[in-house]
Amino acid sequence: MDRPVSSAARCLVAAALALSSLSVAAQDATEKTSATSPAAATYPAAATTAAAPAPKAEEKMGRELGGHYFLPSHVTDDPFSYTAFGTVFGLGSGNALAPELQLIPPAIIGEKWYGYTGLGLGMTLNVRILEYLSARASLLTTAYLGTGSGAALTVGTSARITGDIGVKGSLPLGEEWRLSAGLDMSYGPVFSLLLANGLIDVVTNCRDNPSQCSIDFGSGFQQIDTVTWTGTLTAAWAPTPYLGFTGNAQFIAPTKTGDASIAQNGVNLAIAAEFDALPLVKWLPLGVNTAYQLTTGVGGNKVPTANLAGFGFYYTGRKDLALGLEIDWQWSTLETQQISTGTLAWLNFRYYWN
């Protein structure tokens, strides 16, 4: 009775050992096949690569140089290529040296300072075509009106509408410098109404020849179209993330113009400096800039000289937005060739896409 049981036990043990040997052999074969299979070596690596993609580099804004984000200004141009839309709105007042008018009898008896009020509204669009090439178009309207006793007659009223199109190519020089060259064409009709001049012309004509006295209602109204070509060289330098400097040199070549505009070739020179507190104080997104512009003639062509100085405050908390207020002081001539001084405040807005 014991022998059959012992024989059965021995048979079961032998069967178990045989199954264990087969299992170990199959496992070894599977490991060898996996180690020599190219698909098994490729798929895990691909899965690992897909699971951990390389970090995407942050896009650099077009107006950034050396870690500094340059501020826009209507006093100076910049050398950068970017896509942006901006608007400006200005309002101010000043004084103009105009003839002092005697009404009875009508005559000019000297010169006198009169007040005037001015305003401006403009918009501009920049489009980056290539990395270092951009095109732009802008529209600017300005107007002034004599205010105070007698100013409406002697200073008069004037309005200018200027459209501009241009292209600009830029070139970086290291991490801190940027140069550019641009060419613009602008067209701007000027409408001026000076009642005092028309009244004096009527009185003079009738006094000299009463029998043939005639009234020219258009003598006090002037309309002049101006087409101007402008070549610009610009340089920008950012030694630190919180400092930036800009310089412009423009050659102005008009084909038609008014008395107080550049009647012949002229030059425009401008410089600007700016400071951004945000890189130094993380809770203070404030930028300030100051700029100066000089417009004068070439040689002795009697082009009137104009001086413009500005100071501005800007919000710098966003890389894609520039919003600020600029105060300008200018010493120039009006469209009616009258010497003038003025103070204007400009609200500047610009949004950048790159």
Residue 255 is predicted with a pLDDT of: 76
Residue 352 is predicted with a pLDDT of: 97
For domain 64-191+227-352, which CATH number applies: 2.40.50.100, 2.30.110.10, 3.40.50.300, 2.40.160.40?
A: 2.40.160.40
Residue 195 is predicted with a pLDDT of: 62
Which one of 118-127, 253-262, 329-338 scores highest in mean pLDDT? 118-127
What is the pLDDT averaged over residues 204-215? 61
Q: What is the pLDDT of residues 251-260, one digit of tens each?
A: 988 876 544 4
Peptide bond into 279 cis (omega under 30): no
Give the chain's mean pLDDT.
79
Residue 29 has pLDDT above 50, yes or no: no
Residue 148 is predicted with a pLDDT of: 77
Extents of the domains making up the chain:
2-49, 64-191+227-352
Residue 200 is predicted with a pLDDT of: 60
In this structure, what DSSP letter does residue 212 have? G
Percent of the chain with pLDDT over 90: 49
Residue 49 is predicted with a pLDDT of: 47
What is the pLDDT averaged over residues 150-174? 87
Residue 40 has pLDDT above 90, yes or no: no
**Exposed / middle / buried, residue 112 (Cβ in 10 Å: 0-12, 13-18, 19+):** middle
Which of the two residues, 217 and 99, has the higher pLDDT score? 99
**Whole-structure pTM value:** 0.76
- 133-147 and 157-173 beta bridge pairing: antiparallel
Q: Which residues, in sequence order, are bridge partners of residue 311?
A: 290, 327
Beta strands in 207-320 (DSSP E): 221-240, 243-256, 266-276, 286-297, 306-315
Q: What is the pLDDT of residues 42-91, one digit of tens each?
A: 444 444 444 555 555 556 789 999 999 999 998 999 999 999 999 999 99
Distance of CA 119 to the CA centre of its chain: 20
